[in-house]
Amino acid sequence: MILTDKEIKVVAFDADDTLWDCQSWFDDVEYKCGDLLSRWATHEEVKHALFDTERGNMELLGYGTKAFTISLIENAVRITRGEITGDIVLQLLEMGKGLLQFPTTPLAEVRQTLQRLYDDGRYRLVVFTKGELLDQENKLKRSGLASYFEYMETVSNKGMDEYVDLCRHLGISTSELLMVGNSFRSDIAPALAVGCYTCHIPYHVVWELEKSEEFPHERLQKITRFGELLDVLSVK
């Protein structure tokens, strides 16, 4: 699908695992947590229990590092049946705080592609992500990519209403937005449902709560390299 014959005005980008690596850092903390709790459970048991805890907390805590850290500690208390020591709690807390500071180095071809899109000038570039506002803003600052985007919006969830609201705020129709992201569940399916165009760039690691079935669609383009977006948008 080449979009030269479409009235695309805005290209919106997901942030985590689209512009920079994120999930790998969370997976590393999860593994270290398994090491800390090895007296009480296997790594797989800790992993599955943590997923259940995160899912149970989702409605109340939403997405983001702070929600993950709370779930991490809550899960550890349950796994150890309350035997967890203050030292282990402190280590888990420090690992969670570390996730607020990891380097958000742009993924391959991201910076060059954004520069080409920015220089081309035909499209307004924005970031549309979910999570915690301050955390996401700081990630964008650390990435060095902020100057390419005219606007950033962080929401607690990416559903159909959020995509409609984004387009309304930007003063465009949904058919004038191209959403680019790695999560089919959050970046692709709800955007398609309200009439947006989408570009799916799968990442090699996926959070369990972001996994979903994929499907073909006339307004969906799947690519394997970030730089292929230039071909989709016919940017020379």
pTM of whole model > 0.75? yes
Distance CA 124, CA 157 (A): 23
Q: Is 171:193 a contact under the CB 8 Å cutoff?
A: no
Q: Which sequence spans correspond to the domains of the chain?
A: 3-20+104-232, 23-98
Confidence of residue 6 (pLDDT cuts 50, 70, 90): low
CA dihedral 7, 193, 129, 52 (to 10 degrees): -160
Structure tokens at 46: 């800790």
| CATH number for domain 3-20+104-232, candidates 3.40.50.1000, 3.10.129.10, 3.40.50.9100, 3.30.1380.10 | 3.40.50.1000
Q: What is the pLDDT of residues 21-41, one digit of tens each?
A: 999 999 999 999 999 999 999
Structure tokens at 11: 């290209």
pLDDT at 111: 98
Q: What backbone phi and psi angles, to 5 degrees, belong to 50?
A: -65, -40
Q: Top-level CATH class of 23-98? A: mainly alpha
Confidence of residue 16 (pLDDT cuts 50, 70, 90): very high
Nearest C-alpha neighbor of 16 from the set 174, 137, 111: 137
Encoded amino acid at 17, one letter: D
